[in-house]
Amino acid sequence: DTEVTQTPKHLVMGMTNKKSLKCEQHMGHRAMYWYKQKAKKPPELMFVYSYEKLSINESVPSRFSPECPNSSLLNLHLHALQPEDSALYLCASTRTGHDSGNTIYFGEGSWLTVV
């Protein structure tokens, strides 16, 4: 099973709303990622969690707040977003350790539209 599950698949929110994106994997992976992808562009790294601790924050605005409640779950809390934040948000995961293979598996993504 190489599945990363993201919910919701589509989300429309106003600029004053608070919403969350969720990501779940049951592959025993201890590194999880959030990427943002605009149309016709490559994914851009936002956050990396390793063993449930934030290890990389790519200077993402504070209106995006990640959370890793346990080794299987990763959330992205959204508040006071701007229309330019509309994008596909991809979650990914991988095993850790230098002999782990390092293949990163992606979910199907959550389409976010900010109105």
Q: Which positions lie near other proteins, rule CB under 8 A?
A: 31, 33, 37, 40-43, 45, 48, 50, 55-56, 88, 90, 92, 94, 96, 98, 102-109
CB 37 within 8 A of CB 88: yes
Residue nearer to other proteins on the CB measure, 56 or 115: 56
Q: Please, what is the minimum distance in Å from the beta carbon of residue 72 to other proteins?
A: 19
User: What is the nearest approach in angstroms of other proteins to the Cβ of residue 20?
Assistant: 20
Of 37 and 75, the one with the shorter C-beta distance to other proteins is 37
Output 15 or 56, the one with its CB closest to other proteins: 56
Closest CB 18 distance from other proteins, rounded Å: 25
| Tokens representing residue 21 in the block | 């994106």
Q: Which is nearer to other proteins, 30 or 79 (CB)?
A: 30
- CA atoms of 96 and 32, how far apart (whole Å): 10
CA distance 47 to 37: 13
Distance CA 86, CA 60 (A): 14
As measured in angstroms, the least distance from the Cβ of 80 to other proteins is 26
Helix (H, G, I), strand (E, B) or coil at 41: coil
